[in-house]
Structure 1
Amino acid sequence: MNQAFEETVSPYFLADFKKKEIAGASRAPCVELNDGNLMPIVALGTGRGTAKENESVDEVRKSVFWALEAGYRHIDTAAVYDDEEQVGQGIAEAIQKNIVTREDIFVTTKLWNDKHRREQVVPALQESLRRLGLDYVDLYLIHFPVSTKEDGSADSVDYLETWKGMEDAKQLGLVKSIGVSNFNIKQLQRLMANSYTRPVVNEVEVSPTFTQESMVAFCRQNGIVVMGYSPFGFFVGRDSTTQIDKSALLQIADKYGKSFGQVILRYLIERGVVPIPKSTNQKRIVQNIDLFDFSLTEQEVALISGYNTNKKTLTWALQAPVTLLNDGNKMPILALGTAGSKDDISRMRQAVYWAIEAGYRHIDTAEFYRDEVEVGLGIADAIKKGLVTREDLFVTTKLWNNHHARSAVIPALQESLKRLGLNYVDLYLVHSPIAIKDDGTAEDIDYLETWRGMEDAKKRGLAKSIGVSNFNSEQISRIIKECEVKPAVNQIEVNPTLSQEPLIAYCRSVDVAVMSYSPFGFMVSRWKQDTPPPRFDDPELIKIAQKYGKSTGQIILRYLIDRGTTPIPKSTSKDRIIQNIDIFDFSLTDEEIDSIKKFNKNIRVYDFIEWKDHPYYAFNKP
């Protein structure tokens, strides 16, 4: 390693970098992985996302060729990016024009979530190789620890099983090195403790606005290289509310005669992170690798780290998987609940925005909650800021009890849509089987008549799916027998003290999804006296939570998901909203689920006892 090279490489990487004698290597040094293979420390990102520069998939082919021409020797792609074929074409063109040989290039691709079973891994990699036109890849990553089925619904494959499939692929010579992506520290520890092969890489989001200091330090201590996607964070247009003063960064850029983007990439390299800048602009591609003729001082690195917000730019990494409803529509398996007090209503617009920003794609409201206007404004804010489109969201609302006449259903839904500012809802529920008049007294309307009005609304396209809430098994059975459309959902109370096992089993048997309101039960303060355990500080729940590095609230939400239900946690606290969706990187064992079921007392938070004598009161039967 020559002196000039040593002067341009960070102290941390100095011991690990090797000068690989290939074309352009002077512009892209390599780091030695824990398996002895060499990996260039800058990669071209190819994930196509939603940026205008990625509208044409053919831009990927051109950008890969330009990158190899400019000296890149590391290309990062993935099965889910749907661009492996174009990446392969760009590589083939560069080889054909004698810019590189195959051996000069380091190609990374990733296993998608619906191929997590051990026997699926090698075939999935073979398909990626076919699309890439290659005999092997240099690095294969598990894209997420979370497994899904092909329809996008949640699956329960342990990533330890997936890793055995990755080891199979390495032994077959289809990949030289194997690693992971979007794993947290607990998952890395568990993987290393239970596997023969240590991951060489963890690819995660790292930028000045999301520094990941604990993750970077942990990986360094354990010989795992961190690759950083979204390296510019909120310094590029993300339509975020985060406002950044770039003046200090621009001063550093002026000092070295570089752009602020080059300074950010160099900052990541100084921290021991392999950045993955993405661009289809030829000038920007060339600029993004021109990083090896300067180094930042420790003070400059610390200053740039001061931009940290601990806020991800890619919230989709936290998004809930979906379940396939019986009508073919897909529903995210976690929803933000919005029922609450008058004070909650005033905060609901912000809560909905925060939830969407954090990755929620399912919002649950109702006419009765009197917050549809605020919910709609929160949705509109998120769409205006570019966080989502309307099609990205799944919005549930409900028909209140005083609109149970068939002729009243569509007008009631139209009023809800007006308040929400939407043209349709994804799911419309009959809030209760009990009909009342406007003055709150009972009305003699059969819920079958109401359901026919719901079918009318679905036929009109005002609701994509229709379902019920607070119905028992006999009432659902009657609808299925007497009506054209089967309810897609039954939304009921489910929590540790009300396990609802018979009703959930029935709904599963007739292919009706269950949504779970009041998921924490009496763990949160209630108006009732002498309520049964558990509480958030219950020793059994704390033991499980410590095992997975989670809160007891997260354990309860995961318990409901692992039982096949969709929980609806309500919060107007930003931190709690974020915490409540961070539950898709672990699964409970059957024994842990059974231990939580033992809290069941068949006691409801909401028993609607005032209606116990009504013929359609649902809670007398499962």
Structure 2
Amino acid sequence: MTTIPTQPVGADGQMPVIGLGLWKIDKDVVADAVVEAIRAGYRHLDSACDYGNEKQVGEGIRRAIEEGLCTREDLWVTSKLWNTYHHPDHVVMAMDQTLDDLGLDYLDLYMVHFPIALEFVPFETRYPPEWVHDPSDELPMMKPAAVSLQDTWRAMETLVDSGLARHIGVCNYGVSLMRDLLNYARIEPAVLQIESHPYLTQDKLVRFCAEQDIAVTAFSPLGALSYLELGMAEESQSVLQQPSVIAIAERLGRTPAQVILRWGVQRGNSIIPKTSRPERLLENAALFDFELTDEDMAAVSGLNRNQRFNDPGVFTELAFNTFFPIYE
């Protein structure tokens, strides 16, 4: 079993630097994936309402605990507030639904999933509600809601007050939104989760968070591989095919994926690669018996092309008939 190091989060948290990303893992296999990940040494699970598999994730957690693989206190479980629940009246109910699905009494981390507020969709109408307001419309579209990020954050803070969340954070924020959040936060964000990989290093944002003692989690740490099945990337865009990455991997006797994931944690970030394959779970976690040299780190970072695969300013128009940019 692999022992995965942790990084400080907030005043008293320790978040494992490698987690299992649960986005796009099918409901039929995700419970088994959770059990196998915990068996392999993973203690960090990255979930979300929008992934549509939290009940099955909860089943995996229950099974792992019953099998004696871990205790609840051993785990770091993250989930996220969906766009349709930004209004303060809906934040607690969204959290309650997630906790019920996961079979937990509290989350280690609850995050605002996107800086995007959409009109509320009742649970009995559709859960998870996804992006469009009414899929039966002739032209289904997103329906923005007039809810400020500050109002949402105020409601997020009450989750910490009540003990439902040990820590709170945000996803997909840039430096300007982070600065603004820090101006009004009574409870500061413990973690920022962003897309980051060698084609999108986000150096300034990562440095800013380090200076503010905000931990950074990188989703899609292998870049294009997360988006091939969605038609949002092409095989030729894989960073694993870069000659410099292949050369480093061959010199170290590692896979190109291990080189990229090691680069991610060696930058000081946590990473949440997604897989449901037991052998890949082990490979993705086997990062702590080797290091990249300064030259290796510079070579991988030098691949940056500011290429974002998960961009609402692109996919919302293509998939949901709504132009909704959040990045410059």
Whether the TM-score (by the shorter chain) exceeds 0.5 is yes
Counterpart of 1:589 in structure 2: which amino acid?
A: T
Asked whether the 8 Å contact 2:218–2:272 carries over to 1, the reply is yes
Matches for 1:35-434 after TM superposition, within 5 Å: 315=1, 318-340=2-24, 344-434=26-116
Asked whether the 8 Å contact 1:395–1:426 carries over to 2, the reply is yes
Counterpart of 1:403 in structure 2: which amino acid?
A: Y
Secondary structure in 2 matching 1:428: strand
Asked whether the 8 Å contact 2:312–2:326 carries over to 1, the reply is no
In structure 2, the gaps of 5 or more residues are 122-132, 134-141
Give the one of 590, 595, 606 matched to 2:294. Answer: 590
RMSD value, Cα:
1.7
Report the Cα offset of residue 591 of structure 1: 1.1
Counterpart of 1:560 in structure 2: which amino acid?
A: G
Alpha-carbon distance in 2 for matches of 1:514, 1:591:
23
Asked whether the 8 Å contact 1:396–1:427 carries over to 2, the reply is yes
C-alpha distance 525-458 of structure 1, shift in aligned 2 (>3 A) = closer
Q: Structure 2-normalised TM-score?
A: 0.87
C-alpha distance 423-604 of structure 1, shift in aligned 2 (>3 A) = same
Asked whether the 8 Å contact 1:338–1:365 carries over to 2, the reply is yes
In structure 1, the gaps of 5 or more residues are 1-314
Report the Cα offset of residue 327 of structure 1: 2.7
Alpha-carbon distance in 2 for matches of 1:319, 1:373:
27
Counterpart of 1:426 in structure 2: which amino acid?
A: D
1:453 aligns with 2:137: no
Asked whether the 8 Å contact 2:224–2:233 carries over to 1, the reply is no
Report the Cα offset of residue 346 of structure 1: 1.6
Alpha-carbon distance in 1 for matches of 2:191, 2:212:
11
C-alpha distance 368-525 of structure 1, shift in aligned 2 (>3 A) = closer
Matches for 1:538-577 after TM superposition, within 5 Å: 538-577=242-281
Could you tell which deviates more after superposition, 385-394 or 495-504? 495-504
Report the Cα offset of residue 506 of structure 1: 1.2
1:492 aligns with 2:176: no
1:618 aligns with 2:300: no
Asked whether the 8 Å contact 1:348–1:371 carries over to 2, the reply is yes
1:482 aligns with 184
Counterpart of 1:334 in structure 2: which amino acid?
A: I
Report the Cα offset of residue 378 of structure 1: 0.7
Alpha-carbon distance in 1 for matches of 2:227, 2:83:
27
Alpha-carbon distance in 2 for matches of 1:393, 1:402:
28
Alpha-carbon distance in 1 for matches of 2:84, 2:275:
28
Report the Cα offset of residue 536 of structure 1: 2.6
C-alpha distance 412-522 of structure 1, shift in aligned 2 (>3 A) = same
Alpha-carbon distance in 2 for matches of 1:470, 1:619:
9
Secondary structure in 2 matching 1:441: coil
Asked whether the 8 Å contact 2:170–2:189 carries over to 1, the reply is yes
CA offset digits 1:304-361 (Å, max 9, x no partner): xxxxxxxxxxx2xx121111113321111111000006xx222111101110000001
Report the Cα offset of residue 541 of structure 1: 1.4
Secondary structure in 1 matching 2:193: strand
Secondary structure in 1 matching 2:77: strand
Asked whether the 8 Å contact 2:227–2:309 carries over to 1, the reply is no
Asked whether the 8 Å contact 1:397–1:425 carries over to 2, the reply is yes
Asked whether the 8 Å contact 1:533–1:599 carries over to 2, the reply is no
Q: Structure 1-normalised TM-score?
A: 0.47
Alpha-carbon distance in 1 for matches of 2:326, 2:176:
9
Higher RCO (CA-CA < 8 Å; seq separation 6+): 2
Counterpart of 1:549 in structure 2: which amino acid?
A: G
Aligned residues: 300
Alpha-carbon distance in 2 for matches of 1:478, 1:502:
16
Report the Cα offset of residue 370 of structure 1: 0.6
Asked whether the 8 Å contact 1:524–1:535 carries over to 2, the reply is no
Asked whether the 8 Å contact 2:21–2:47 carries over to 1, the reply is yes
Give the one of 142, 166, 170 matched to 1:464. Answer: 166
2:130 aligns with none
Secondary structure in 2 matching 1:515: strand
2:207 aligns with 505
Counterpart of 1:590 in structure 2: which amino acid?
A: D
Structure 1 stretches of 4+ moved >6 Å: none
% identical aligned pairs? 37
